[in-house]
Amino acid sequence: MPKKKRHHYIPKFYLKRFSTNNEGKHIGLYNHANRIFVQKAPLKQQAYENFLYGEDPEIEDALAVMEDTVAKLFYYWTEDKLLIPPPPETNGFKLLKQFILFQSFRTPKSGDNIMESLNHNLKAIAKEIEPELWKHLGKGGRLVHENPVLLMLLNSIKHQKLLDFLDCRFLVNLSPLPFISSDAPVVYYNQLMEQTGNYIGAIGLVAKGLQIFYPIHPRLMICLYDSKVYDFGDGCENCCSTESIEEIHQLNGLQLINSKSQVFFDESISKEYVTELSNHFLEYRKTAKNINKVIRQEARKFLFMSSEDPHINLQLDFFTLKVNPKSFEGEFAPARHSSLKHTKD
């Protein structure tokens, strides 16, 4: 059997739900790096790289098996309108969390992020213990990896339990403005830590107050969230809805900010809208920071490594804080459960 050359890091079954007229052949896209708007781009040509996970087909084949099962769940939710998320502790819920985790780590954006972080950390360490190496790195030297995306994907397999203690609900979009998606569609956020004024490490997988936004259709989004911190939709059991254009605009802005270079959408999104979206949110992409600080304690040195990711003062009426943010001021990304304290990502 010939090897699958094209490795789609965003599954085609997923992109089809944002396709033009829901026909599965074309999709709208905006490349913000080049400021190119395409109303009808060939869907099968999007979000793939040749042998992204290596020439050994094992990883791609395993992902394909998972996608076949998850595609059935998406069909129930988006086509049959059975808006009931998998109950906690069921195999369906474990599969959904696994799929979302893998999706967030299998993209080129994820590979770029880990290499940027590793190089920042390396320079901080070298400056302290290998000044000559640090000088070399300062002249353009960089740590490289043959396949950083595969590195991240394999690493995520070990971290599946880090999404424990999160609830799942659906957000139904009843506004005139549809959801968009992107080439990195799983967005991590933390309104709790944003309100404390300290966003360092706020979207780590074990962080208290973590939220995950994953649009799966122009009218439907999966939300994972820390239910000890937030009420969702005034206590709704399975889903809630919003008619707010502003709320959808903010969530679309997070897709733009989180993307590597492209956002995807159906035929109802205009060039004028994505231009406005870009003008509003593109500047936030520059605010991401890798943080490296050497802490000296007597004769020893410790390297503190973290990140501060973009945040936009997100305002969503369907998420209500159950805790006082002032109780967490001065804390660096507290864990949402005691069992996760020794497994921080």
258 Cβ partners below 8 Å, 6+ apart?
109, 182, 184, 185, 186, 187
Convert the pLDDT of each residue in 65-103 to its tens digit.
Answer: 999 999 999 999 999 999 999 999 899 999 999 999 999
d(CA 43, CA 90): 33
Check residue 96 and give its pLDDT. Answer: 97
pLDDT of residue 34: 94
pLDDT tens, position by position, 32-53: 999 999 999 999 999 999 999 9
Q: Where are the domains of the chain?
A: 6-340
pLDDT above 50 (res 313): yes
Percentage of residues of the chain with pLDDT beyond 90? 74
Residue 15 has pLDDT above 50, yes or no: yes
pLDDT (tens digit per residue) in 117-176: 888 777 777 777 777 666 666 656 677 888 999 999 998 988 889 999 999 999 999 999
pLDDT of 300 above 80: no
Of residues 243 and 235, more confidence is placed in 243
pLDDT digits (tens, 9 = 90+) for 239-285: 999 999 999 999 999 999 999 999 999 999 999 999 999 999 999 99
- Tell me the C-alpha distance between 121 and 306, whole Å: 9
Q: How far is CA 44 from CA 11, 127, 179, 254, in A?
A: 10, 46, 20, 24
